[in-house]
Amino acid sequence: MNFPTPFVANKPFSYDSIADQLDKIFVHPDFSKSEILKKFLSYIVHETLIGSAHCIKEYTIALHVLEKPVSFNPQKDCIVRIHAGRLRQALTHYYSGMGFNDQIVIGIPKGKYVPVFMDRQQWIDEKNLLTPPRQREPAIPDYEPVIFAIMPLICTSDGKLIKAFNDSLCLQMCTTLSQLNEVSVIAYQAIKNLATKYLDLKELGTMVGFNHIITGGTQYVKNKIRINIQIIDSRNYKQIWSKIFESKVTPTNLFDIQDEICQQTIIQAQYLVNES
């Protein structure tokens, strides 16, 4: 659901009516299972209603919602943007499902953090983006979608070539995974920046929103490389699949090694999705 630039609804909503709407939204599983999303939405809604919308910035959200230190730098840490994307998706799930008939629509325009409050009928009349329930496909599947995060590979070598190889392989897997149906992938660069700060996979997965990871490590000795790749369910730490790849390294075969690893890993990821 794409939200327009903020505008004033035909009938302004009272603080209490917005608060009641938040209570309805927070019953949805996307919110009831995430204190961060509830705190995020509560904060930006409250600041807007008391006339402090101009204070809602990526930096202030980091401090007041995520409890980051005053030294937080939004240019180096994209965690607020990640949670904002999760919040928009959660609101879409709510209003496409259990909140379809609600008279107050709360949304967050893409690229912004200030919420908009809309009258349901006005939204339908002006944007015509909400179709009647009979014409809609179920917005929320009866299974949990598979969401991957590609973790930085552990490297036992200090060589720049192997480190570059690891990053390139992770990026390639991320790109290929994103092309699969019914699969979502967290941006590799975002995960790479966060992985050193959050060592617990379950905590990181809950915060960012993934439920499976692809991880592993590389060893490089005398022109021979060994790569161990694993697929793990981050919710219970169960290892679903693993394989060791070994190959001699030449100046011309690094891409071939990457392609083979990526292809076999993606096949296993597709099996996982098909069985879900």
User: Please, are residues 151 and 228 in contact by the beta-carbon 8 Å criterion?
Assistant: no
Q: What is the pLDDT of residue 139?
A: 45
Q: What is the pLDDT of residue 115?
A: 92
Q: Which of 40, 54, 149 is nearest to 85 (CA)?
A: 40
Closest Cα to residue 98, out of 147, 173, 31?
A: 31
User: What end-to-end distance do the CA atoms of the chain give, in Å?
Assistant: 26
What is the dihedral angle through the alpha carbons of 199, 201, 206, 208, rounded to the nearest 10 degrees?
A: 70
Q: How far apart are CA 37 and CA 131, in angstroms?
A: 26
The reported pLDDT for the residue numbered 5 is: 40
Q: What is the four-CA torsion angle of 72, 78, 83, 84, rounded to 10 degrees?
A: 100
Distance of CA 188 to the CA centre of its chain: 11
Residue 6 in this model has a pLDDT that exceeds 80: no
Range 146-275 has CATH code 3.40.50.10070:
yes
pLDDT band at 3 (very low <50, low <70, confident <90, very high): very low
Do 260 and 244 form a contact (C-beta atoms < 8 A)? no
pLDDT band, very low/low/confident/very high, at 157 (cuts 50, 70, 90): confident
Binning pLDDT at 50, 70 and 90, where does residue 138 land? very low
Tens-digit pLDDT profile for residues 224-250? 999 999 999 988 889 999 999 999 988
Q: Is the pLDDT of residue 222 over 50?
A: yes
If one counts every other C-beta atom within 10 angstroms of the C-beta of residue 45, the result is: 22
Q: What per-residue confidence (pLDDT) applies to 126?
A: 54
Which of the pair, 141 or 120, is modelled with greater confidence? 120
DSSP category for residue 238: E
| Structure confidence by residue, pLDDT tens digits, 31-85 | 998 898 999 999 999 999 999 999 999 999 999 999 988 998 888 777 888 888 8
Helix/strand/coil percent split, the chain, to 5: 45, 20, 35
Q: Which helix (H) or strand (E) holds 217?
A: strand 212-221
* Sequence ranges of the domains in the chain: 15-135, 146-275
Enter the DSSP assignment of 11.
S
Contact 148, 184 (CB under 8 A): yes
Q: Which pLDDT score is estimated for 203?
A: 78
Residue 132 CA to residue 189 CA, distance in Å, equals: 39
In this structure, what token pair is assigned to residue 274?
């098909």
What's the chain's average pLDDT?
Answer: 83
pLDDT digits (tens, 9 = 90+) for 26-44: 999 889 988 989 999 999 9
- The per-residue pLDDT for range 175-221, each reduced to its tens digit, is 888 887 778 899 898 898 888 777 777 778 877 888 899 999 999 88
